[in-house]
Amino acid sequence: MDNHKKKMIAPIIITVVFLLYLIIYVAIIVTGAVAEAAPMLLLLAAPLVFLGIGMIVVLKSRIEEIRRGEEDDLDNY
């Protein structure tokens, strides 16, 4: 297995597990909503959706860094 692919496994697994957690959490919030509390619960779920989108953007950025050979960027500091 290519060294770059090995370094991509951990970020992908962490992102997938985190997104599954967020999806389950948002589903519980939305399905458990009582009619009068639904707008408030959706407002509480909205930041979690944006957090999930942010995780995907960060994952994409991290994969690009690994492909460029910047996998150990902490050594620069």
Q: Where are the domains of the chain?
A: 3-68
Given this model, what pLDDT does residue 72 score?
63
pTM for this one? Answer: 0.70
Lookup: tokens for 58: 């960060």
pLDDT tens digits, one per residue of 16-51:
999 998 888 877 777 766 666 777 777 877 888 898
The reported pLDDT for the residue numbered 75 is 58
Q: How confident is the model at residue 8 (pLDDT cuts 50, 70, 90)?
A: confident
State the pLDDT at residue 53: 93
How confident is the prediction for the chain on average, in pLDDT? 80
Are 22 and 48 in contact, with CB atoms under 8 Å apart?
yes
> How far is the C-alpha of 33 from the C-alpha of 21, rounded, in Å?
18
Q: What is the pLDDT of residue 17?
A: 93
